[in-house]
Structure 1
Amino acid sequence: MSLRRLFAIVVKELRQMRRDRITLAMIVGIPVMQLILFGYAINLNLRGLDTGVADQANTAASRAVVMDMVATGVIKPIRSATSPQELMEYLRRGEISIGIAIPADFDRRRYDGREAVQVLVDGSDTVVQSAAIQLSQMPLDNTPTSNAKSPRIGGGQISVVSFYNPERRSAINIVPGLIGVILTMTMVLFTGVAIVRERERGNMELLIATPVTRSELMIGKVLPYAAIGLVQTTVVLALGVWLFDVPVRGGVFDVYLASILLILANLTLGLLISTKAQSQFQAMQMTFFVFLPSILLSGFMFPFAGMPKVVQWLAEALPLTHFLRLIRGVMLRGADLWELWPDVLALVAFTAVMMTLAISRFRKRLD
């Protein structure tokens, strides 16, 4: 054992890492990214949940009750409805997470000590259910309306009704999201190493000699992996239904259409990475930088509504964020894909931009 030779090898590795900008970025970037995400962006205490209100009583007392609920900070009214049925439509389409239904005889119910308010909850997210329970714990003043200066709700007079997952089974929320997580991890990685692998194996020389255009090469790289992604979707979907009894309330065709939108978005992102990476290992490193924010900020592991607005805007640029809304809306709430068109449009636009950038960056040459 020669300490001199050992020291020479250590210095050589340090110099090599210094020249590898991706590795250097991971050394500093990963700890910083995780610290910021877990310390600042991720918050399990939900605030400002999108809420619809159907106040059929429309009295001073009923309006005061709604204001008391808003004052908790848990809800943020963004929709007004005329009936509980209209609130249910908003819930099904994913436009709101909570609905507040106040009947026309609210004052009489409150005075008699009966159930006076219903909180309708999108139970496909178990964290939202837990946040909604806070509203049912507000105290209620049972005095008549004419004497009540600030009517308060609670004492069993407010009921929380959970839809789509009344048993609060975590598998119902997790399994649809796993489709997106698995597709994000595998699809980006597969195409991320595609172009680099051609260079390392010497196949790029053969492709350069052919009349294949850049667009044909890129699209040809994507299509086989798209079929693989559909196979993965089928496996996760079948096991989820069989092992965990996860419902598919919407159309199966819509499930696969949403999946192909995510598959194409991730494949084109992987192609863009492959045009930048110099080696397969470097492509894997760059894929990790995409996968980590996707799984943490998309709403799969932590509630989207608990994140600061700036982080939510960042998460909107991630394909997985939009896919989770689509797949949970279709599978758990029975929504049609066309009702969730903003997220469909976002995935289509992302795919078009990534493919355009990948084609423009790729050159049929070895340098």
Structure 2
Amino acid sequence: MKLNRLFAVMRKEIIHIKRDKVSLVISFIMPLTMLLLFGYAVATEVDHIPMAVLDLSNSHESREYIQAFQNSLYFNPDVYVENVGELNRLLDEGKVRAGLIIPPDFSHYKEKVVKPFLKIDGSDPTTARTALSSGIMVSQSFSNSLLKEEMSSKGMKIPSFGVDLASVVEYNPELNTQVFTIPGLLGLVMQNITIILTAFALVREKERGTIEQLVVTPITSAELMIGKLLPYVFIGYADFLMVLGLSTFWFKVPVKGNIYALLLLGLDFIICALAIGILISTVVQNQTQAMQGAFFILLPTVILSGFIFPREQMPEIVRAIGDIFPLTYFLVILRGIVIKGVDVSLLFHQIIIITAMSLLLLFAAIARFKKRLD
């Protein structure tokens, strides 16, 4: 082996690396960003579960009971509602993961057995299991303290009073993990495929030298971007129908809500994801950079969108970063329609954001391409 030839090859490769500044920057930024984001976002323990409270007793005793849930650190009983309908709506929207209903006669727990009721959102089995076991534990601890007090004052007679917490798991009573993961996988797979498809759309033209031919034609930037996008819309939507059918018939995860709304909103999300790929394609110079850019978007969404880990457990700044990804909102739509069967009106916020993102990303791609033509 000749060292001079070896160093010549090394020098040539260093020159290539210096010229490919985008790849060089990504190679340093990506591991740092991933470590920081995943280090804060990946949390296996579940605590501070958002809880709504319907306190029909409104007594000193009921407030002590609520405080016991607060003190456990497993629950955040910060939302108070006036009726069961409002509590159910918050569960449907995913704004709370548990709902505690305290009966009107709760203040008489020293005279008889009272039965508060805990409703749990079972669409995320990990959070639901923690809520179920923790809720029973908190209630039993609260009741046991009463029993000890009474038994110490009246001998060893077992009193016929106390708090007997009843519970029910909504949407996914069996706590089947597959019911939670399959709709999430549907969104994740579609995002990954569609972004990668269009991330290479303009790059191929640049590498083949055909981009100059497009520049000299009367085609406008908008016509070029939309023309590039539309064929992939059909491909992406065909993939969506195929994966949805596989989820329903093979994995036995039925769509409980409006299937037509899901089909329409799936199209909206596909356009949004394709627009991300198109925007990446206008920024990068070659297919290697396109792949790096695509993965720079795709990897954080696995962790930050709520696909695996509950977003409620993430720090606010990390949760805010997850808010910029369309998949975060589409997962709420998927799980809302597929698992919970909620009305589309409850998903209006997510629909508006995905639609707005689609338009914004497409306009950004058009503007970016115009700038590169100047």
Question: What does residue 46 of structure 1 align with?
Answer: 46
More moved, 42-51 vs 221-230: 42-51
User: Which residue, out of 324, 330, 355, partners 1:348?
Assistant: 355
Q: Could you say if the C-alpha distance between residues 25 and 301 of structure 1 is closer, same or farther in structure 2, counting changes exceeding 3 Å?
A: farther
1:293-319 per-residue CA deviation (whole Å, 9 max, x = no partner) reads 111100002111110011111111111
Residue identity opposite 1:291 in structure 2: L
- Are positions 1:311 and 2:318 aligned together? yes
Deviation at 1:85, TM superposition (A): 4.0
User: Which residue, out of 188, 196, 205, partners 2:203?
Assistant: 196
1:176-210 per-residue CA deviation (whole Å, 9 max, x = no partner) reads 11121112111111111111111222332332343
State whether residues 53 and 80 of structure 2, in contact with CA within 8 Å, keep that contact through their aligned partners in structure 1.
Answer: yes
Question: What does residue 363 of structure 1 align with?
Answer: 370
Alignment partners' CA distance in 2, 1:110 and 1:134: 23
1:38-60 per-residue CA deviation (whole Å, 9 max, x = no partner) reads 32232222333322111112211
Deviation at 1:271, TM superposition (A): 1.2
Alignment partners' CA distance in 2, 1:181 and 1:211: 38
1:226-249 per-residue CA deviation (whole Å, 9 max, x = no partner) reads 122211211221111122211211
Secondary structure at the counterpart of residue 182 of structure 1: helix
Alignment partners' CA distance in 2, 1:78 and 1:249: 30
More moved, 325-334 vs 17-26: 17-26
Residue identity opposite 2:358 in structure 1: T
Residue identity opposite 2:52 in structure 1: G
Question: What does residue 141 of structure 1 align with?
Answer: 143
User: Which residue, out of 233, 239, 244, partners 2:246?
Assistant: 239
Question: What does residue 124 of structure 2 align with?
Answer: 125
Note the 1:1-367 alignment, pairs <5 A. 1-108=1-108, 111-113=111-113, 116-132=115-131, 133-138=133-138, 139-141=141-143, 143=146, 157-363=164-370
State whether residues 143 and 163 of structure 2, in contact with CA within 8 Å, keep that contact through their aligned partners in structure 1.
Answer: no
State whether residues 176 and 331 of structure 1, in contact with CA within 8 Å, keep that contact through their aligned partners in structure 2.
Answer: yes
State whether residues 50 and 96 of structure 1, in contact with CA within 8 Å, keep that contact through their aligned partners in structure 2.
Answer: yes
Question: What does residue 152 of structure 1 align with?
Answer: none
Alignment partners' CA distance in 2, 1:363 and 1:349: 21
More moved, 207-216 vs 341-350: 207-216
Q: Could you say if the C-alpha distance between residues 27 and 214 of structure 1 is closer, same or farther in structure 2, counting changes exceeding 3 Å?
A: closer
**TM-score in terms of structure 1 length:** 0.90
Alignment partners' CA distance in 2, 1:252 and 1:123: 21
Q: Could you say if the C-alpha distance between residues 325 and 110 of structure 1 is closer, same or farther in structure 2, counting changes exceeding 3 Å?
A: farther
Alignment partners' CA distance in 2, 1:200 and 1:364: 19
1:56-112 per-residue CA deviation (whole Å, 9 max, x = no partner) reads 122111111111112222322353223334322321232321111112222445753
Alignment partners' CA distance in 2, 1:336 and 1:32: 41
Residue identity opposite 1:63 in structure 2: R
Secondary structure at the counterpart of residue 249 of structure 2: helix
Residue identity opposite 1:130 in structure 2: R
Sequence identity percentage: 35
Q: Could you say if the C-alpha distance between residues 25 and 236 of structure 1 is closer, same or farther in structure 2, counting changes exceeding 3 Å?
A: same
Alignment partners' CA distance in 2, 1:156 and 1:113: 6
More moved, 66-75 vs 168-177: 66-75
State whether residues 52 and 77 of structure 2, in contact with CA within 8 Å, keep that contact through their aligned partners in structure 1.
Answer: yes
Secondary structure at the counterpart of residue 358 of structure 2: helix
Alignment partners' CA distance in 2, 1:247 and 1:224: 29
Alignment partners' CA distance in 2, 1:26 and 1:205: 27
Q: Could you say if the C-alpha distance between residues 202 and 19 of structure 1 is closer, same or farther in structure 2, counting changes exceeding 3 Å?
A: closer
More moved, 43-52 vs 117-126: 43-52
State whether residues 51 and 75 of structure 2, in contact with CA within 8 Å, keep that contact through their aligned partners in structure 1.
Answer: yes
Alignment partners' CA distance in 1, 2:368 and 2:234: 25
Q: Could you say if the C-alpha distance between residues 206 and 27 of structure 1 is closer, same or farther in structure 2, counting changes exceeding 3 Å?
A: closer
Question: What does residue 151 of structure 1 align with?
Answer: none
**Any gaps of 5 or more consecutive residues in structure 1?**
148-154
Alignment partners' CA distance in 2, 1:365 and 1:120: 55
Deviation at 1:156, TM superposition (A): 7.9
Alignment partners' CA distance in 2, 1:209 and 1:351: 28
Alignment partners' CA distance in 1, 2:31 and 2:283: 23
